[in-house]
Amino acid sequence: MKLKYSWLILVMVAQVAQAQFSWFGGSTKKKHHEVLLANRAIQIETTQAINNMYNSNFDAAERDFKWLTVKYPEHPIGYFLIGLNEWWKILPDSKVEKYDDACFYNMDKAIDMADDMLDDDSEDKEAAFFMAAAYAVKGRLHSERENWIKAAWASKQAMKYLEKCRGFGDFNPELAIGDGLYNYYSKWIPENYPSLKPMLVFFRKGEKKDGIKQLEYVAQNAFYTRMEAKYFLMQIYSMENQHQKAYYTASQMHSMYPNNSFFHRYAARTAFVLGKTDEAEVLAQELLNNVNSGKQGYEATAGRYAAYILGYLNMNYRNNIPKAKEYYQQTIDFAVQSKAKDSGYFLGANLALGKMAVSEKDYPKAIEYFTIVANNAEKKSDTYKEAKRQIDETKKLMKSARKK
């Protein structure tokens, strides 16, 4: 079973391994390095580049981040931000692998430079922060690729250096994101994946409400990790049925970064969940137009979200069945393209098309759609049970029709 948040499990596993590490004894100070993370002038210089990154203006962001590598050639900040820029190219559709090498390369460069800083001063907390952050991104990407051993090792390193950089007073808001994620997911994972409870028994227990508060603190007060915290909060609010907060956060992010397909599709999804049908329809149509025009970042995943929303609205609100069928079929096509046949939208589209086929008395076609759902849904899920029920009822209707 592949877990959507498997890399977070690896981070928690790494906490146990962390106890086995001892930091190199004593402190060596061969060379002093300027602290850049808490430097307001650097933050001002990088603000536009960071905004470009989150707004999917990746080339412009990379030019400015490369300038940091020239101005601060011995510091990891430039390479880390270039690597993060590559990660955000991956994020809209994580199955796209063409940016992997560049992401890993720049994170490794950041790690090497931070390691050199630690050679000069073993107590350099800023260097430890970049080690933790770069290894965390590597762990996330390795877990997306199901490279579990590499992901576990990278996560273990991230935890090791995260502990080392604690106490960096001027940068505490940035560091709180790790605690927030741990507190929330240490409770969420066993609640949603009971089979993992035995392996979590020795971990420090967290509280979801504390994790949410910490992430909200980061979203309000941090500079470099603010948007990363909001990225997680959008999803957490939805999982906690705090749909109004999810909608507000997603709408805010989409307004700030209108070219970011992840924020765009989340704005459409949360509007849809809240029944804001007109807004959801506009956002979904914009999403689909961007996918069809080949706009950067608007991949099959965005198309799947958009097409399903438009199919549902046309079926249930516009009573435009031909259009609904068209959009539901697009949902299926996008899901197949992105290898997401277990996704809710793929299953929902097939269920809807099956029900429409039943209403049109095309029973063989309906059974075909329902069987697709049964074959791809989790066996204990309500969706699977619904598909099996629909198959049985449709077979009865088909048998009855033959007798007439």
The pLDDT confidence band at residue 25, using thresholds 50, 70 and 90, is very low
Q: Which residue has the tokens 């989409």?
A: 254
In terms of pLDDT, which residue wins out, 3 or 379?
A: 379
- pLDDT, tens digit, for every residue of 121-131? 988 888 998 99
pLDDT at res. 196: 56
Tokens of 321: 């069945």
Measured distance CA(83)–CA(63) in Å, rounded: 13
C-alpha to C-alpha distances, 178 to 32, 135, 183, 224, nearest whole angstrom: 27, 13, 9, 13
Give the chain's mean pLDDT: 87
Written as six digits, the tokens of 351 are 């269920």
pTM for this predicted structure: 0.85
pLDDT for the residue 19: 37
Residue 18 has pLDDT above 60, yes or no: no
Q: Which amino acid is at 57?
A: N
Please choose, from the candidates 279, 246, 285, 250, the residue with its C-alpha nearest in 3D space to the C-alpha of residue 264.
Answer: 250
Mean local confidence (pLDDT), 360-385: 96
Is the pLDDT assigned to residue 168 strictly greater than 70?
no
With beta carbons less than 8 A apart as the criterion, state whether 29 and 121 touch. Answer: yes
